[in-house]
């Protein structure tokens, strides 16, 4: 990393490899309200909807990443309640040339504090949706995690739920 400048792990990787396709680990978190509606984030980067979550930093656990990303994107404090599975997104694109294969670890969580608030740098809005009225979801891994929450996944590999 550049001396004197703190960079995220992803910024550091991109500094080294440019826009070549890479593999990244991510988290997504399904949070539902009392009406069993799922919380979605209207993303500012692609103007589509998705779950709170994001990319793993170098020195954090998957669970720490999930909790941190929910806090950053929604201002909610959560407690992870269930592991939903590992989901594969073979092609995630943030810009025309910034591509990655994303391996996403999904959880459900309950809110234990904070108040719902949009992070202006990442979100246009936050809203709850019934499962049968979901808007277009930005990534296949997010959609698979939502479906897994509402219906048990059918594929199991050595005791680990895997989708992809």
HSE of 86 in the Cβ direction (CA atoms, 13 Å)?
A: 12
pLDDT tens across 30-45, in order?
999 999 999 999 988 7
Name all domains of the chain by residue range, CATH numbers in brackets. Answer: 19-163 (3.90.79.10)
Radius of gyration of the chain (CA): 16
What stretches of 5-159 show up as alpha helix (H) in DSSP? 9-17, 62-74, 140-150
Its pTM stands at 0.82
If DSSP codes are grouped into helix, strand and coil, which group holds residue 119? coil
Tokens read off for 123: 């979100």
Instruction: Tell me 131's DSSP state.
Output: G
The better pLDDT of the pair 5, 100 is held by 100
Coil, helix or strand for 68?
helix
């Amino acid at each position: 990393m550049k001396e004197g400048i703190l960079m995220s792990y992803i910024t550091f990787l991109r500094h080294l490899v440019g826009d070549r396709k890479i593999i990244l680990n991510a988290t997504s978190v399904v949070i539902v309200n009392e009406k069993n509606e799922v919380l979605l984030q209207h993303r500012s980067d692609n103007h589509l909807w998705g779950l709170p979550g994001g990319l793993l930093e170098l020195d954090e656990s998957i669970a720490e990443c999930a909790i941190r990303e929910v806090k950053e994107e929604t201002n909610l404090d959560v407690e992870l309640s269930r592991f939903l599975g590992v989901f594969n997104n073979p092609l995630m694109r943030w810009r025309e040339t910034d591509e990655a294969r994303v391996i996403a670890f999904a959880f459900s969580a309950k809110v234990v504090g904070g108040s719902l608030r949009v992070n202006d740098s990442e979100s246009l809005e936050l809203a709850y949706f019934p499962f049968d009225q979901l808007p277009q979801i930005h990534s296949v891994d997010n959609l698979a995690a939502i479906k897994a929450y509402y219906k048990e996944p059918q594929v199991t590999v050595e005791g680990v739920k895997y989708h992809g």
